[in-house]
Amino acid sequence: MKLLVGLGNPGAKYEATRHNVGFMVAETVAQRHRVALKKKGYQGRYGVGTVAGKQTTILLPQEFMNNSGSSVNAAYQSLGVVPGDLIVIYDDLDLPFGRLRIKQEGGHGGHNGIRDILAILGRKDFIRLRVGIGRPEFGDVTGHVLGNFNALEQKHLPQLLDAGADAVEKIIAAGVLEAMNIFNGFSLID
């Protein structure tokens, strides 16, 4: 069993924000593989199906981003997955918009959702797919993260979500190292 977690904030207010790109990629994977995200449990919304030939639970925690750990841990413990079968997708300010980065383990890199997951799981050896949202040149970082994508980003967003879903499928089908070789150099906008 694989556990695929997209991070974001619940509610219509946050739906189209940069901070919810983890939800968006996970939803793209779910749509491609006809996994209905209608079940309620693990403090989130989830569905179970087959992704890249493997049984996969796709989870969207319904706690706010900074409290994602309890939802992830509930599913992780209940499903009995091992760290290499947990894939967490989230936004990254330190990657330019349109870039992807896969990591096998590591710290939180300043991301509070990952910080909470690390604290509650008590381990850091799970797979992460970081989706670049870029850092604002000027102004408020919080406003940028919780803001909607600008016109140029919106134009490229469908391609970015597809690329993120491709990366997830490659991780599941061929393993994290092969996926890293393909996607860690990926960029929509040069």
Token representation of residue 109: 């890199």
Nearest Cα neighbor of 93 from 104, 108, 78 is 108
Q: Indicate if 19 belongs to the active site.
A: yes
Q: In a 3-state reduction of DSSP, which class is residue 101?
A: strand
What is the enclosing helix (H) or strand (E) of 61?
Answer: strand 54-61
**Residue count (the chain):** 190
Task: Give the separation between CA 60 and CA 20, rounded to whole angstroms.
Answer: 10
Nearest Cα neighbor of 128 from 149, 109, 156, 147 is 109
Residue 46's beta-bridge partner residues? 39, 59
From the candidates 19, 108, 111, 144, which is the catalytic residue?
19
- Pairing mode of beta strands 127-132, 54-61: unpaired
Nearest Cα neighbor of 116 from 5, 2, 18, 1 is 5
Token representation of residue 123: 């381990």
Nearest Cα neighbor of 88 from 117, 66, 62, 64 is 117
Catalytic residues: 19
